[in-house]
Amino acid sequence: MSNSDRTAGRSDSPSRPRTPPRGAPALAALALLLAGCARPAAQPDGTRLRLASTAPNLTECVFAIGAGDLLVGRTESCDYPPEAVREIPVTGGFGTPYLEPLLAARPTHVLETVLADPGFTRRLSALQIPVVHVPCARLGEIPGALLQLGALTGHAPRAQQLADAILAGIGAARAEAAARTSTPRVALLFSPDAPITAGRHAFIAELLALAGGDNIGSSSETDYYHVSLEWLLTEDPDILLCLFETPAKDPCALFASQTGWRALKAVRQRRVYTVPDLSAVSRPGPRVLEGLAQLKQVLALDAARPPSAPLVTPRPN
C-alpha cells in the first residue's frame, strides 16, 4: 500500500497566542510524569531492551519514535514500515503471542494493548518477562501511547514531538468539523458478503466524524458488529465506504449486480468508495493524520462530483 508523508500541523501566527488543543493539559501532565520515569534503551544491568509487540499499531508507534531497532518480535499482521518489519521475527498473531517463538526471541518486555488470553501475562511474569500494557485503541489514546513508549525506550523527545503534532492535527480537524452545517451519512463496511460495520466508539468511526462524515452505525456501543442488508436498506446511507480489499478498480462493481444492494441509494448513485491505505484509516497509531486526510479526500470527492457522474475512487499508486 502506498503512503505519502504528511505535515501534522501548521505554525500559528506569532502575533496570536495558540490555544492548546483539547487534551493538551492532560498530555502535558502525563509527559512530565513519564519524563520522571524515562530511562535509556537499556536495563539497570546495562543489557539492551528487547521488545516484542503483540499489535500492529504498537509496532508502528515504536518505529515512529525511532526505537524500531529494539523490536525483536512482532505479529503476523505487522506490515508497516514494510522494509523494516520484514526483518523482525514473527512471535505471534494480533493479541495472541506464540510462547515458543516469543521465548526464542528473548524479549526483555512484551508490549500489548489487548491480549486474547489475559492469563498470558501471568505466564510471562512467572518467566521474569514484564508485559507492558499500552492503551492504544481509541483516537485519544494515541498521543499517550507514544509518550509511554518514548519514556520506556529513551526516545521521549521524538515521542513528545509526534504526540504534539497529532494533538494539533486532531484539534484543527475537530474545529473544522464543528463548523460544518451538514454531513453525509456513511455506512462503514468491513466485509462485502456478511456486512460488518462500526459503532460510535470504534477508532474508524471517531476518525470519520473528524473528517466530516456521519456514521450510520453510531447508535451502537459495540465497536464492530454484524448488520443485515435489510438494516442497510432501512438506513439507506448516502455513501458506502469499503474498508476491505476491493479487487475491482471501482468498488461499486461489487454491489451493482446484486439485487438487494442495487436498491441502496449509494449504489444507484455510484457513491461507493474505498481508500488508498486501509491500515492508515483503521489502525490507531502514528499515521492517524494520514488516515484522516484520506477520509477527507473521499468526502471531498463525493461532495464535488456532478449528480449524474460516475465516481472515480482514489486508488494506490
Strands 90-93 and 96-97: antiparallel
Enter the pTM of the model.
0.82
Sheet containing 131-133: which strands, arranged edge to edge? 96-97, 90-93, 71-75, 51-53, 109-112, 131-133
The Cα 101–Cα 106 span in angstroms is 9
Helix ranges, the chain (H): 24-37, 56-64, 82-85, 99-104, 119-126, 142-153, 156-178, 203-211, 229-235, 253-256, 259-262, 265-268, 278-282, 288-304
CATH of 182-304 given 3.40.50.720, 3.40.50.1980, 3.40.50.150, 3.30.360.10: 3.40.50.1980
pLDDT for 207 equals: 97
pLDDT for 315 equals: 52
Task: Identify the segments of the chain with pLDDT beneath 50.
Answer: 1-40, 311-313, 316-317
Q: Which amino acid is at 239?
A: I
pLDDT for 225 equals: 96
Q: Using alpha carbons only, give the angle 102, 108, 110 rounded to the nearest 5 degrees.
A: 55
**Range(s) within the chain of domains with CATH label 3.40.50.1980:** 24-162, 182-304
pLDDT for 204 equals: 97
The answer for residues whose C-beta is within 8 angstroms of residue 299's C-beta and 6 or more apart is: 184, 211, 212, 213, 239
pLDDT for 184 equals: 96
pLDDT for 197 equals: 97
The Cα 305–Cα 283 span in angstroms is 29
Residues 144, 23: contact at Cβ < 8 Å? no
Residues 113, 118, 124, 128: is their CA dihedral positive or negative? positive
pLDDT for 43 equals: 65
The Cα 260–Cα 306 span in angstroms is 25
User: Is the domain defined by 24-162 classed in CATH 3.40.50.300?
Assistant: no
